[in-house]
Amino acid sequence: MQTIPLPTGAAFFAQRAELEGTSYILDFSWNARQAAWFMSVFTADGDPLVRGITCVSNRLLLRRYKSNVDLPPGDLMMLDPTRTIDVPDFEQFGTSVTLTYFLAEELKG
């Protein structure tokens, strides 16, 4: 398991993340109308792999896209240890709810 630090206070940002030996670009945007964060995943070269995933808590975010072999072998989750936040608001993102990567090996059980 790997926690990916997220900046706070920015409505749009992109950052690189090294996941099981491969570099990816994770792009995040806050949609005020829907009161939700959205994530897109790109290759290190900027090629899109998946776009517009709603960042809900305590659910595997990439699971439904696993047919795309270029995605990380594990999965990402917005982890809420209290299990009380369904969709993190602007202030909870990266503070109360953290982005966590689960290794492929950890998901096999």
**pLDDT at position 12 over 80:** yes
- The pLDDT of residue 62 is 96
- In the chain, the DSSP E strands lie at 2-4, 12-19, 22-31, 36-43, 48-54, 75-79, 98-102
Residue 23 to residue 88: CA distance in whole angstroms: 26
pTM (two decimals): 0.91
Name the pLDDT band for 94 (thresholds 50, 70, 90).
Answer: confident
pLDDT tens digits, residue range 19-52? 999 999 999 999 999 999 999 999 999 999 999 9
- The pLDDT of residue 59 is 95
Q: Phi and psi of 87, rounded to 5°? A: -125, 115
3-state secondary structure of 106: helix
